[in-house]
Amino acid sequence: MNSLRNSVRLIGHLGADPDVKEVGDGKKVAKVSLATNNAYRKADGELVESVDWHNLVAWGKTAEIMEKYTAKGQEICIEGKLANRNWEDQDGKKHYMTEVIVSELLMVGKRM
């Protein structure tokens, strides 16, 4: 059951091409947003649709795969864990961000 702790799976479309950078000792990190669509019908039959955006971060081999094989608009499936970050900007304002640290990646749709 430990594998279920802090585990997330998402299927969605990439909002941009992955932003890949090399850090430290040549290790790569990829950052990209993922859109997931939700839809349901109200009691009166009206269709309600919404989009949620998720910040993805991939490291090492997963980042390299993301850089080489994915592009904006492509449908992917990911598995990972949630990580929360916070920081204070130069004006003293606190910022908070939740990211999904990607451990598994599956290309579902065709590359755009």
**Is the pLDDT score of 32 beyond 90?**
yes
- The Cβ of residue 66 has, within 10 Å, a number of other Cβ atoms equal to 26
So what's the pLDDT on residue 95?
94
**Is the pLDDT score of 26 beyond 90?**
no
So what's the pLDDT on residue 64?
95
pLDDT tens sequence across 52-85:
999 999 999 999 999 999 999 999 999 999 999 9
Average pLDDT over residues 22-28: 90
So what's the pLDDT on residue 25?
86
Question: Is CATH 2.40.50.140 the classification given to domain 2-107?
Answer: yes
Q: What is the pTM of this model?
A: 0.86
Please enumerate in sequence order all residues whose Cβ is within 8 A of that of 16, keeping only pairs 6 or more positions apart, or say none: 32, 33, 72
Task: Please state the domain extents for the chain.
Answer: 2-107
**Is the pLDDT score of 93 beyond 90?**
yes
